[in-house]
Amino acid sequence: MSPEDLDPAVVAVLAKVSVTPADVAECAPLAGGTYNSLLRLALRDGRHWVVKRPPSAGPGSALRYEHDLLRGETEFYHAARHVPGVPLPHPVHTDVGGTPPAVSCLVMTELPGTPWHEADASLTAGERTRLRRDLGTAVARLHSVTGPEFGYPARPFGPPPADWRSAFTAMTDAVLDDAEHYGAELPLPAARIRDLLAEAGDVLTDVTRPALVHFDLWQGNLLLDGEAGARTLSGVIDAERMFWGDPVAEFVSLALFDDIEHDDAFLTGYAAGGGEVTFTDSVRLRLHLYRCYLYLIMLVEAVPRRYPPEQLAWTRRHVGKHLTASLDAVASALAGRR
């Protein structure tokens, strides 16, 4: 697209940082996002920015936790700005509007590199091991940041909860409410899932510090840059799903549909960065709870996003299978207590 074709709303935002369409050399939409829209700008002075805006769909087309997601992403980058060795975008400008106020646009610096999943097949075994170790160190450093309260910064469920158990219960209750609202296909009735997660909720009281959690660190949100054989982690991006909570929750997306306990390289790096890596019964049960939460989101969001039939069938089959396994693991852990 041509700079002259920029959305008037984007032009208005850029004006607030003294940039006009004439200052833009190139602009193009970025693919890969599943919720917010992304626009890449190359300015004539050499700067490269990404403009991120929420979808234009009206109320009732999103999950409850997705309220004002860009507020969380903005908070993530500001909170982690002094963390050493973690390549993050720098927020250039945040635009707030509407009633109640919400972040309507985030302008940030663009980071170099290619999404990890696009480069993964070309990595040597040694290079992949080194990168996973470096990633572990970076994640541990992010987890050292402590927040002001538990839960999502936008407070989509009301006033801030008093503790992590209350925060996570509100999170799971909300996505199960969404499941019922949208008629999402789940492996068990929402009421049964709600009861099962609540019964295991006492283990969440082991979490007393609201750590910075990205919660979407799959390979698509990690950038690699450099020559083959010497690539480095060049970007940790798309922090819109972040919350303040249990750092253990991070391990779910870092080992999506797998088990982080099998990732020796990551765990070595995580320990080197100061992270706690002891897999106690409490940690393992909490991991199962967080897997349930993520898999529920993946199943429920497929409805309002109107996945095409083939993608919807794959999601229901594949994610549903993993949700069932995680729910069974929670039930098994509870049975072992009795």
- C-alpha closest to that of 96 among 16, 42, 3: 16
> Is the pTM of the predicted complex or chain greater than 0.85?
yes
| Helices 190-199/164-182 angle, 10° precision | 170
Q: What percent of the chain has pLDDT over 70?
A: 98
Residue 204: enclosing H or E segment and its boundaries?
A: none
Using pLDDT thresholds of 50, 70 and 90, give the confidence band for residue 57: low
Mean pLDDT along residues 274-290: 96
More confident residue, 57 or 132: 132
Cα dihedral across residues 167, 171, 176, 182: positive or negative: positive
Residues 58 and 66: their CA atoms lie apart, in Å, by 13
pLDDT at 4: 81
Cα dihedral across residues 11, 12, 16, 18: positive or negative: positive
More confident residue, 218 or 37: 218
Using pLDDT thresholds of 50, 70 and 90, give the confidence band for residue 3: confident
For residue range 286-312, list pLDDT tens digits in order.
Answer: 999 999 999 999 999 999 999 999 999
Residues 249 and 219: their CA atoms lie apart, in Å, by 16
For residue range 247-262, list pLDDT tens digits in order.
Answer: 999 999 999 999 999 9
Residue pair 50/41 in contact by the 8 Å Cβ criterion: yes
Give the residues across from 60 on adjacent strands. none
Query: To which residue do tokens 């099998």 refer?
Result: 262
Rounded mean pLDDT of the chain? 95
pLDDT of 107 above 60: yes
For residue range 9-34, list pLDDT tens digits in order.
Answer: 999 999 999 999 999 999 999 876 56
pLDDT at 55: 82
Helices (H), the chain: 8-15, 69-79, 116-119, 125-143, 164-182, 190-199, 250-254, 264-272, 281-300, 309-314, 320-337
Mean pLDDT along residues 102-128: 96
Residues 201 and 194: their CA atoms lie apart, in Å, by 10
pLDDT of 35 above 80: no
pLDDT at 336: 85
Cα dihedral across residues 285, 286, 287, 289: positive or negative: positive
Residues 54 and 43: their CA atoms lie apart, in Å, by 23
- C-alpha closest to that of 67 among 22, 35, 30: 35
Mean pLDDT along residues 85-92: 97
